[in-house]
Amino acid sequence: KYKGDVSKVENAVKQFNDNKIQNEKFCREIIAAMGNIDAAVAVLPDIIGSLPRGDRKSKLNQYFQQQL
């Protein structure tokens, strides 16, 4: 539905999981990969939901809820 760059999204997820980028950078990468903030906001809940459970996921979800 949203024509984003899947490889860029996957790369951002990998970097986040490898602890190479933090919440703000992760969200900026997803916005860039999706082309605009509306598309990113539409897919970010699913992306965040697919991440492994843990404190980083919880903090990312909280950041997403407060900032976007």
pLDDT digits (tens, 9 = 90+) for 27-68: 999 999 999 999 999 999 999 999 999 999 999 999 999 998
Residue 38, H or E segment: helix 37-50
Residue 30, H or E segment: helix 23-34
Average pLDDT over residues 12-26: 97
- Between CA 40 and CA 62, with CA 31 as vertex, the angle to 5 degrees is 65
Please report the pLDDT score of residue 68 as a whole number.
83
Amino acid letter, 53: R
1/6 Cα distance (integer angstroms): 12
